[in-house]
Chains A and B, each alone.
Chain A
Amino acid sequence: MHNQINTFLKNDLETYIKQCVQNDRGGQLKIYQLFSPVLYGICLKYMKNEDDAKDVFQEAFIIVFEKIHQYKFEGSFEGWLKRIFINKLIETLNKKRKESFFLDVFDPDVNVTDEEELEIFPIEQEKLLEYIRDLPDQYRMVFNLYVFEKMKHKEIAELLKISEGTSKSNLNRAKRILQKRILSIKNFKTA
């Protein structure tokens, strides 16, 4: 039964994709409805504020519809979409980074490994999201790619055009910042 449904849904998805290739608005709407929540969630994680996330989401979806003919029905379509979105997010953040500041410098605490383990206590998803979004752009980018996309530092370095050491350093610093935020909440609650 499961296979039948998967086949059915897969066929539907293929139909929608083909409709999108034909620039059919109905197919585009269906693709949007099916995948927009996940993709919008990614945008919210990578961008500092919701307005920026909306902008990137919008631009990336346009790219999706423009390049959907390049999808060869090999591998996961959702993965393909995510790839486009993450590329767009990185491109946007790289632009912003060059406009503002450049963090590709070697941090002396690159090898710091004294990450403190925290006691488990409930934290809302929205709070966690807020903490991530409060991180500096490059820290957030490295943290997201490392923690959520499960990339290695080498890959992150290539993608963000920074050194591997910088990637490690940025991740370390991001973790420290997040650790502080979480500890401060814990102290506030216990107090």
Chain B
Amino acid sequence: MKKQNIEDIFSSIEHFSSVPPPELWDKIEEQLDQPKKKKRAILWWSAAASLLLGLSIPSVLYFNSKSDKAISPGAIENKNVFLNKEIDTDQDSKNSTIKSNTNIQTEKTIRVSSIKNKSEQSNQNAANQNNLVVVEANSSSKVNAETSHEKTKENVKSETIAAKSTLTEEKLPNGFSPNQNTSFKSNDNKGVENANAIVLNTSLQNKNISKEAVAKDKFDAENKMAIAANDNIQNKNAPKEAVAKDKLDAENKAAIAANDNIQNKNTSKESVAKDKFDAENKTAITANDNIQNKNISKESVAKDKFDAENKTAIAANDNIQNKNAPKEAVAKDKFDAENKTAIAANDNIQNKNAPKESVAKDKFDAENKMAIAANDNIQNKNASKEFIAKDKFDAENKTAITANNNIQNKTNGSQSGIVTENLPSQKAIAFTERKNTDATVLLTKTDSLQLAELHNLEESLKNPKKEKEIDEKASLISKAEKWSVEVFAGIANSENYKNDKTLGNVNSPKQSNAYGVKTNYKLNKKWAVSSGLKINELGQSLANVSYIDTKSIAFMKPEEVSADRSPSTRISNSTDFVFVASATNDNVTNNVNNGVMNTASFESGDVDQRLKYLEMPFEVSYFILNKNKTTVSLNTGGFVGKLISNDVYLNGSAIGENQNANSFVYGSLLSSTLQYRLYKKTNVFIEPGMNYYVNPLDNQSFNQFQWSFNFGLNVSF
């Protein structure tokens, strides 16, 4: 007795098929008629947009508040004078005019830009009268700004310093406007040398009020930025309007979409109805697959009789295996078709021991009908005299659809298990359904052998399909969650491998923290792309930096210290502390020895320089390991960063900002991610990596490499 293993036994049902109950289509149709649910992707996108909005709003607020801080009285009291790049530009170009943009709301603008440093009244007067304000500032002057005129005078440190700020007002009915409004003129008469100790002293004259100077104020460049920042005030309403408009549009669209659905529904119903009742252009399709004819003696293998008048009948009997078919033709197809099409596709017909009668006779009396008969995997065995399948469609003006699948006729002399339905004239669609009880016929031993043989034959016929199946399997696996969102935090260590020095001291590594969110999109099994937002800090430390505290030296001339210093040695815009490069120490010492400088003022301390960025990375990931719950990937790409914080610390105290810091920074990154699936779609990961920053500071060496170690959570969907 031949033996076989379990897999061989069960391979007989590999291509098992069964006609689903008719009510299932009704249910499907019902569900298809229901309005579609909003896709999850839209929800995620809106969540991502909200997150982005949530991050951007605090950022804008932060920048705005920073502008306010720059002109706050506290800042003036601390005597920390901030020079912004625009002032530097002014110094180089001698003259510059900063024009505020359109849509400046006069009152608010003036308040923001000057109210902090002036008496309230003078500002309000200036504001209320909507006058053109021209401020001329001789930026070569060094003045410690105070809120009153008298104090300002008292705090003048040098005779060489002159400060003139004039607020000239002319009556203009419309106040500030793009072409007429505020101009700040900064005339630098002295040059760059004293730039680290410059204070602009501005006196405002309001001729229309009292024709006297109202106040002397300090306008640093950030005031101007504040003015510019107010341009956004009016624009705030614009997005709301846009949102509202979008909402309206969305509603309209939804309504349109709903109408579309209705139209589609109607259209589809019409099309179904059309298919059902359209008398012309009907098709009769008979698809009999996998039927094999063996030992056919007298009768044809398939007789498909199409009595369809005025129709065309195409009979295709493919892969028919005929054995011992002595007399008759393999296929006899009678086409009484007039002007209509009937297609009978009999593929792989297997008939065994069908001596006299045809294996299948499908008679289509379908005039003006569409008849589709799909007979798959029909296996006829020992069907002696009777028809195996009789499908008679008498349905005039209707569609008759017969789906016969897996019909097996064995050893039954008379009838097979195929249900023959005579369609009544009113029934539009008829499913010829195989009933389990009819279809279930006990197999004999010889039959099971024959069955196995048949399956082998089928297998050999289906060999070309294997490649496709392999592709299908591959894509089955890749059908995983494509999107994921991750939050992460970590530590970063900024380093410099070129032994760069600042002020003669080697740049030391600086450790900082980083955190952010990232979205990944899996392109395929191996590749993914990602982007997001990250807050990161680049920094460096300088140990034992020599400096002079200018506050402690009453009448020290800056040039005494800075004469031998190139501008590049300036690391901070602080005027209170003058850093001395180690190369210039000798000169300083000479000055000390010559009695020019006071020895007591020469100190040393540790300097920390920090640049904080809001970065947007763009990464490409390659998965080098994807096993069970663990994935390992290599990531590379670039990033762009916006400077959000710029600080210099001396012995732990903030003293100002780094000089010449670039507002935007670019760089490349390389990292590796080890991820482990914790629960369902939640993963934990660690991510060691390195970043390279291109030119964070101009004219100054800075740590450009950064080692990072991040960890976080990743949720896929």
A-side residues, CB < 8 A to B, are 1-2, 4-5, 8-9, 19, 22-29, 32-34, 36-38, 40-41, 44-45, 54, 57-58, 61-62, 65-66, 75-76, 79-80, 82-83, 86-87, 115, 117-126, 128-129, 132, 147-151, 155, 157-159, 161-163, 175, 178-179, 182
Contact = CB atoms under 8 A, between A and B. Distances in A.
A5 B477 contact: no
B468 interface: yes
B179 interface: no
A129 B3 CA distance: 21
B16 A41 contact: yes
Nearest to A125: B13
B695 to A, nearest CB: 45
Given A79-B472, A178-B10, A29 B25 contact: yes
B268 A38 contact: no
B272 A32 contact: no
B275 A26 contact: yes
Contacts of B319: 2
Given A40-B20, A83-B472, A148-B14, A118 B9 contact: yes
Interface stretch (B210-218, B439-447, B682-690): B439-447
5 tightest A-B contacts by CB?
Answer: A25-B268, A122-B443, A122-B448, A41-B17, A26-B271
A150 B474 CA distance: 12
B5 A155 contact: no
Given A118-B4, A119-B3, A44 B18 contact: yes
Nearest to B275: A26
Contact of B316 (A2, A62, A148): A2
16 contacts: A8-B314, A36-B19, A38-B15, A38-B376, A41-B16, A79-B468, A115-B6, A119-B3, A120-B449, A122-B447, A124-B443, A125-B406, A149-B469, A158-B628, A175-B6, A178-B10
Contacts of B271: 19, 24-27
B479 A87 contact: yes
Given A28-B32, A75-B468, A124 B401 contact: no
B269 interface: yes
Interface of B: 1-7, 9-21, 24-25, 27-29, 31-32, 36, 261, 264-265, 267-269, 271-272, 274-275, 287, 314, 316, 318-319, 343, 345, 372, 374, 376, 401, 403, 405-406, 436, 440-445, 447-449, 451-452, 465, 468-469, 471-473, 475-477, 479, 626, 628-629, 677
A128 B376 CA distance: 20
B269 A158 contact: no
A151 B689 CA distance: 37
Given A5-B343, A24-B267, A149-B469, 4 more contacts: A1-B318, A37-B19, A37-B20, A125-B406
A10 to B, nearest CB: 12
Nearest to B476: A83
A62 B10 contact: no
A23 B267 CA distance: 9
A26 B268 contact: yes
B18 A179 contact: no
A37 B18 contact: yes
Contact of A38 (B17, B267, B274, B443): B17
A185 to B, nearest CB: 11
A62 B441 CA distance: 34
Given A5-B314, A79-B468, A87-B479, A120 B4 contact: yes
Given A40-B20, A45-B16, A24 B28 contact: no
Contacts of B11: 147
A52 to B, nearest CB: 13
B473 A25 contact: no
Contact of B7 (A23, A27, A28, A147): A147
Given A25-B272, A149-B473, A37 B17 contact: yes
Given A23-B268, A26-B268, A119-B1, A54 B32 contact: no
A57 B473 contact: no
Contacts of B25: 29, 32, 36
B12 A163 contact: no
A22 to B, nearest CB: 8
A86 B287 CA distance: 26
A61 B20 CA distance: 12
A161 B678 CA distance: 12
Contact of B9 (A45, A76, A128): A128
A125 to B, nearest CB: 5
Contact of B31 (A44, A62, A86, A129): A62
Nearest to A28: B32
Nearest to B1: A119
B476 A76 contact: no
A126 B440 contact: yes
A82 to B, nearest CB: 7
Contacts of A61: 28
B5 A117 contact: yes
A147 B10 contact: yes
Contacts of B345: 5, 9
B516 to A, nearest CB: 29
A128 B20 contact: no
B417 to A, nearest CB: 12
A40 B469 CA distance: 19
Given A122-B444, A122-B447, A178-B6, A128 B468 contact: no
Contacts of B19: 36-37, 40
Nearest to A116: B5
Nearest to A4: B316
A38 to B, nearest CB: 5
Contact of B465 (A33, A76, A117, A182): A76
B272 A29 contact: yes
Nearest to B345: A5
Count chain B CB atoms within 10 A of each CB in A32, A118, A119, A125 and give the residue with the most. Answer: A125
A93 to B, nearest CB: 14
B36 A66 contact: yes
Contacts of A8: 314, 343
B419 to A, nearest CB: 14
Contacts of A121: 445, 448
B13 A129 contact: yes
Given A45-B16, A147-B14, A120 B32 contact: no
Nearest to B264: A23
A26 B316 contact: no
Contacts of A54: 20-21, 24
Nearest to B680: A98
